[in-house]
Amino acid sequence: MDKRALFVSACVILVAAACSESKDAADTSGPAVDMAALHQEEYAGMRAAFCPPPPGQQASSPIPTSGDLSVEPAKIFDNLYFVGNKASSSWAITTPEGIIILDAGFHYSVKETVVAGMEKLGLDPNDIKYVIVSHGHNDHFGGAKFLQETYGAHIVMSEADWQYMVTWPQKGSPAPFPEHDIVVHDGDEVTLGGTTVRIVVTPGHTPGTISPIFPVTEGGETHLVGYWGGDGAGYLPPEEMQTYIDSATRFMDLDPAVDVELSNHAAADGTLLKLPVLKARKPGDPNPFISGHAAFREWVGVLRSCASDYLAQKKSS
Ligand SMILES: [Zn+2]
């Protein structure tokens, strides 16, 4: 990383007022966070994680699975909380009638991420009514059985991924499967306590990956999250890469009101860049998780371009 990149990085995280080298630093009337710089850093992280490595270089593994993976749980919006870690993200959507969890994380970390994170934030895991599992890989369904058995939560997946989950060869320490439960299809809705999560099926990463769209609120305003359920296409056969590309194309244009991008890996949605900005936020500062629709489209476009690059590479080899 060159010096300029380091400087941009520091500016993004420390907020512009703290960037003493910036020519504009003295102008305290400007935006507190350089959102454009934040997005560029977010996209660079995505490319490092999900695009083919430059020629002659080994693919890096930017999604850590060992060492200190802990991330402070955090309230992101009035009704949305981060309860994941550096390896795998989970989110809690709160409603007056209970809680919906998006992705359960690994089976060996669900207690310290989802459960302990919720308790630290004042949420009661007994209120979990649904766990929407984006897809049948064990970094996302792994904790589902525990949440199902312990709290009676309903597990929601596409039928394609209920099937995929039990046939996909798990590496490392295999996660236990939840009992077959709720099946959703494209266009279905999961509604709890007045909040509706719209189910969008975006095959590619797996045959039945779910990418939900749902509302969040802050300051009396409603924003719409587009949650991409399957990060990465590099491991797929070429025809499934094309399916992934087609799903991304559909998802980016599905709803012009989507203005927040989220996913289930921090490497994909810049969560680790945005959390410290959110924490340092002063009254009136923007929420760094609100990107606007154009940036949301650009973000999906980066994920799509990574898949396109892998596909081009496969075709030329
Ligand atoms: Zn996966």
Those residues with Cβ within 8 angstroms of residue 206's Cβ, 6 or more apart along the chain or in another chain: 135, 136, 137, 160, 161, 164, 168, 230
Tell me the pTM. 0.89
The partner residues of 82 in beta bridges, in order of sequence, read: 74, 91
Chain segment 103-144, per-residue pLDDT in tens: 999 999 999 999 999 999 999 999 999 999 999 999 999 999
What is the CA(292)–ligand 1 centre distance, in A? 26
For 255-312, how does the pLDDT look when each residue is reduced to its tens digit (9 = 90+)?
A: 999 999 999 999 999 999 999 999 999 988 999 999 999 999 999 999 999 999 999 9
H or E segment to which residue 182 belongs = strand 182-184
Distance 61 CA to ligand 1 centre (A): 14
Neighbours of 32 (CB within 10 A): 18
33 Cα to the center of ligand 1, angstroms:
31
**pLDDT level of residue 5 (50, 70, 90 thresholds):** very low
Question: Domain ranges in the chain?
Answer: 1-30, 31-316
CA of 77 to the centre of ligand 1 (A): 26
Residue 19 corresponds to which amino acid? Answer: C
Neighbours of ion ligand 1 (CB under 5 A): 137
Q: Residue 74: helix, strand or coil by DSSP? A: strand
- Predicted pLDDT at 55: 81
Q: Say how many Å lie between the CA of residue 137 and the centre of ligand 1.
A: 5
Q: Give domain 31-316's CATH number out of 3.60.15.10, 3.20.20.220, 3.20.20.70, 3.30.70.360.
A: 3.60.15.10
User: Among 99, 100, 58, 106, which residue's Cα sits nearest to residue 85?
Assistant: 106
Ligand 1 centroid to Cα of residue 205, in Å, is 6
- CA 186 to chain centroid, in Å, comes to 19
Cα 175 to ligand 1 centre (Å):
14
Half-sphere exposure of 112 (CA within 13 A, CB side): 13
